[in-house]
Amino acid sequence: MLIPIPDLLSPAELARVRALVDAAEWVDGNVTSGPQAALAKRNEQLPETHPAAREAGAIILDALARSPLFIAAALPLKIFPPLFNRYAGGQNFGLHVDNAVRIQRGSEFRVRSDLSMTVFLEDPQAYAGGELLIEGLFGAQSVKLPAGHAILYPSSSLHRVTPVTSGARVASFFWLQSMVRDDGARRILFDLDRSIQGLVGEVGQGHAEVVALTGVYHNLLRRWADA
């Protein structure tokens, strides 16, 4: 499932992230590519150990921890430290699928990439092209969101970034391991959670049906979760 996360970053957080990454030195984006991705990838990236990348990444992680929508949709167990990329001058990333396991350089930290996330850091009017195209059961979906917004999608999806023909597309990207491996199970839990929250707004948290459905949610999570 594709889940947009609107306004993940506040204006102040977005400004701070951009100040950090814009002042840093960018390198060839293939520093984190696998062999297949390296054939298709043309962009720039901040080294994952760069102090600016770490500070900006911490801001994004703090924002994720505050987002009920992200928590409900992802049910995160482990999150790979956010990375940052930039596309300009016709750069693009051809059709590819993300590696199943991501390992942080110089450490034993690794995540199974159940979900991928892109946080857009540039206003869409400031660059041409640069759409994230994600292949799904009903064809490709094009994603180009306002700065500070994010998109969450299965890492198993074929996806690409179209050429940026003017301006520059700046974004953060990373992967996460969910407590619930199966995308279909996560979708059921997400839909149930949203329905419960809607019901809470109508009848209140203590209503018998809300309590019963909350129990169903947690029993399903207990059945499916690896935590």
CATH number for the domain harbouring residue 201: 4.10.860
Q: What is the arithmetic mean of pLDDT over 125-133?
A: 97
Looking at the structure, do residues 193 and 84 belong to the same domain, yes or no? Answer: no
- With a cut of 90, say whether residue 36 has pLDDT above it: no
Q: What is the mean pLDDT of the chain?
A: 94
Looking at the structure, do residues 169 and 203 belong to the same domain, yes or no? Answer: no
| Residues near 67 by beta carbon (within 8 Å), at least 6 away in sequence | 5, 8
Looking at the structure, do residues 172 and 204 belong to the same domain, yes or no? Answer: no
Binding positions: 96, 98, 159, 169
DSSP per-residue codes, the chain = --EEETT-S-HHHHHHHHHHHHTSPPEEGGGG--HHHHHHEE-EE--TT-HHHHHHHHHHHHHHHT-HHHHHHH-EEEEPPPEEEEEETT-EEEEE---SEEE-TTSS-EEE-SEEEEEE-S-GGGSEE--EEEEETTEEEEE-PPTT-EEEEETTS-EEE--EEESEEEEEEEEEEESS--HHHHHHHHHHHHHHHHHHHHH-TT-HHHHHHHHHHHHHHHHH---
Tracing tokens 């043309």 back to the chain, one arrives at 42
Looking at the structure, do residues 191 and 215 belong to the same domain, yes or no? Answer: yes
At residue 154, the pLDDT reads 95
Looking at the structure, do residues 199 and 161 belong to the same domain, yes or no? Answer: no
Binding positions for Fe cation: 96, 98, 159
Looking at the structure, do residues 135 and 66 belong to the same domain, yes or no? Answer: yes
Looking at the structure, do residues 57 and 168 belong to the same domain, yes or no? Answer: yes
Selection from 8, 4, 1 nearest residue 148 by Cα: 8
Looking at the structure, do residues 15 and 37 belong to the same domain, yes or no? Answer: yes
Looking at the structure, do residues 218 and 141 belong to the same domain, yes or no? Answer: no
Selection from 147, 86, 89 nearest residue 122 by Cα: 147
At residue 39, the pLDDT reads 61
Is residue 54 a contact partner of residue 83, using CB atoms and an 8 Å limit? no
Expressed as residue numbers, the domain containing 163 is 3-178
Binding positions for 2-oxoglutarate: 169
At residue 1, the pLDDT reads 85
Looking at the structure, do residues 132 and 63 belong to the same domain, yes or no? Answer: yes
At residue 106, the pLDDT reads 81
How many domains does one find in the chain? 2
**Per-residue pLDDT reduced to its tens digit, 37-80:** 556 789 999 999 999 999 999 999 999 999 999 999 999 999 99
